[in-house]
């Protein structure tokens, strides 16, 4: 049922007339700030500093995806290089998260690979890491292949794995021996039953199974990305005897009280903080996960100012 509601939300929010209405109004932009740090690098650096001061680690995500223009893809690369430099200059406990389609994957794969290599090289020089976000299921294999190539060269990458995909158990066995870190999340894209689990209970069961598998890898850092209290408790149990590093990850602006409790317990937590002007697709995915927020969205869409 939750998946059906989420798909209905995406069906409404993805209409061009709705998108235009939300993006051009002050209430729409204000709604985005619940989940997005701002549009500028300075905005996200300020948020990251505040989170670090309160004990959180951070991952910066410069929003954008499905870039087909080479100039824009190269600009995305440069934006990430600037973000990495800013992380180092400000002494932040932070890394960056990258979507490969933002670098040209699917249009110019060679350009995307070279850009990812440049980002990884800069991160290695500045003493931080890079996480490759996972996108829709049609891109999973290409994303993993590019991760394998660049990770073997630089060794400072991580990759997201989506628990609802049938293939994920094999993907973990494939990428975990490469070291780095693996962010395990449930999955936020509407996928058909041939490639993804559809039932919330089935996804939860598979998530816990994959957490158990991840915790057995000594040289890979599991990053358990969930806001589900039952999944958090299950991960704590799974990691009870683990002596090697691992962490929780959560989204900026989502379940902030729970985030504070995890920090108070002494468990490391990294907050995924997006920024940039391409915030609308990200916002709609957050709304699909929590349809109760549609009331605020509707007000923004109907506003004239």
Catalytic residue ranges? 133, 183
Tokens of 173: 């066995």
Cα separation, 175 vs 191, whole angstroms: 22
**φ, ψ for residue 40, nearest 5 deg:** -110, 155
Element (H, E) at 222: strand 221-225
Instruction: Evaluate whether 254 touches 230 at the Cβ level (below 8 Å).
Output: no
Read off the DSSP letter of residue 177: G
The DSSP result for 129-160, as a single string, is: -EEEPP--GGGHHHHHHHHHHHHHHHS-EEEE
What are the E-state strand segments in the chain?
57-62, 94-98, 130-132, 157-162, 181-185, 221-225, 247-251, 269-275
* CB of 55 closer than 8 Å to CB of 263: yes
Backbone region of residue 55 per phi and psi (left: phi > 0; alpha: psi in -120 to 50; beta: other values): left
């Amino acid at each position: 049922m939750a998946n059906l509601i989420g798909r209905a939300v995406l069906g409404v929010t993805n209409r061009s007339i709705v998108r235009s209405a939300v993006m051009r109004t002050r209430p729409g932009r204000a709604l985005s700030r619940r989940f997005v740090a701002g549009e500028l690098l300075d905005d996200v650096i300020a948020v990251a500093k505040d989170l670090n001061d309160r004990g959180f680690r951070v991952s910066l995500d410069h929003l954008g995806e499905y870039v087909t223009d080479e100039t824009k893809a190269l600009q995305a690369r440069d934006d990430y290089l600037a973000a990495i430099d800013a992380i180092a200059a400000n002494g932040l406990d932070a890394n960056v998260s990258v979507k490969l389609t933002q670098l040209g994957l699917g249009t110019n794969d060679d350009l995307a690979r070279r850009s990812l290599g440049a980002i990884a090289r800069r991160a290695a020089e500045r003493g931080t890491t890079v996480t490759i976000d996972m996108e829709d299921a049609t891109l999973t294999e290409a994303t993993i292949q590019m991760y394998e190539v660049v990770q073997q060269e630089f060794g400072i990458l991580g990759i997201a794995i989506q628990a609802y995909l049938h293939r994920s158990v094999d993907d973990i066995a494939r990428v975990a021996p490469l070291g780095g870190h693996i962010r395990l999340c449930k999955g936020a894209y509407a996928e058909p039953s041939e490639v993804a689990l559809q039932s919330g209970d089935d996804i939860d069961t598979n998530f816990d199974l994959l957490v158990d598998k991840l915790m057995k890898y000594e040289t890979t850092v599991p990053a358990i990305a969930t806001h589900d209290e039952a999944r958090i408790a299950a991960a704590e149990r799974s990691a009870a005897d683990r002596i090697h590093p691992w962490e929780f990850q959560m989204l900026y602006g989502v379940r902030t009280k729970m985030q504070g409790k995890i920090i108070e317990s002494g468990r490391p937590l990294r907050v995924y903080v997006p920024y940039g002007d391409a915030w609308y697709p990200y916002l709609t995915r957050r709304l699909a996960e929590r349809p109760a927020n549609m009331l605020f969205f509707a007000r923004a869409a109907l506003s004239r100012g």
